[in-house]
Amino acid sequence: MNGDRTITGATRVVGIIGDPVRHSRSPAMHNAAFETLGLDWVYVAFPVARGDGAAAVRAVASLGLAGLNVTMPHKADAAAACDDLAPEAAALAAANTVVNVDGALVGHSTDGDGFLRALQDEGVEVAGRHVLVVGAGGAARAITHALGRVGGDVTVAARRPDAARSAASLAPDGVAAGFDGIAVEGFDVIVNATPLGMEGEAPPIDVAKLHADQFVYDAVYPVETPLLREARARGLRAAGGLGMLVHQGALSFSLWTGVTPPLDVMRAAASADV
């Protein structure tokens, strides 16, 4: 963001709440887009402790904020604190975007569509194809629901059977499975929606069974995870989570401002120093 920029009482404020949130690339990404478009808006990070997410969301109207992004661990609490939910957020009972509409707080989930747009960038078609989603947390649930909406044949693998079943139920005819014995070679697209790999951990699947006809997407960002390295070494096409981050952020940006943001500017800011 340009150091000469002036913040005034008229500047519209949006931000992100999370715990932790210091690492977030969203402020750089959104502020670069605001500056490029000449919008008098600013995006800041608000560290909000676990359990305080609902209170933070309810404060949006009182403070006159234009909206928020919401990350772990507050997405369910954010949805519960909103006055209304868009269909995707209602289906997931989770919101990653809050929009202040004349004092009424509307919750949205842009994660799923952000993921689908990231796949489109990679030229990957999922309709009618077998997709394995590894994990059953918030990101996995949003991804599974989105895949189901566009006709993906989805299997969700997770350590906890109940969590896998709950996530799988978000896609038509979704199948739940455990980590042990999952036949990864039988899927066209494999998505890691767990944090495994962020700190260099071993992949959550048996990469020795992968083959070159498959596509691997790792929602972890911004690091080049062991899963991505090993998949590419075996001749697979693969992509990390930066595209999903940029696209879900761009969708949030449009919901707040009514303006289409410059994706190239957001991507460059999000990937700076990566």
3-state secondary structure 196-237: CCCCCCCCCCCHHHCCCCCEEEECCCCCCCHHHHHHHHCCCE
What is the pLDDT at residue 140? 96
DSSP E strands: which ranges in the chain? 12-18, 41-47, 67-70, 84-85, 97-101, 104-108, 130-134, 153-157, 175-177, 189-192, 215-218, 237-239
Q: Is the pLDDT of residue 203 over 90?
A: no
Long-range contacts for 1-5 (Cβ within 8 Å, ≥24 apart)?
1/28, 1/31, 1/32, 1/34, 1/35, 2/35, 5/35
Q: Is the pLDDT of residue 86 over 60?
A: yes
Q: Which residue segments constitute the domains of the chain, with CATH numbers given?
A: 12-109+244-271 (3.40.50.10860), 112-240 (3.40.50.720)
Q: Is the pLDDT of residue 180 over 90?
A: no
Mean predicted confidence (pLDDT) in 217-230: 90
Mean predicted confidence (pLDDT) in 227-241: 96
pTM of model > 0.85: yes
The catalytic residue positions are 75
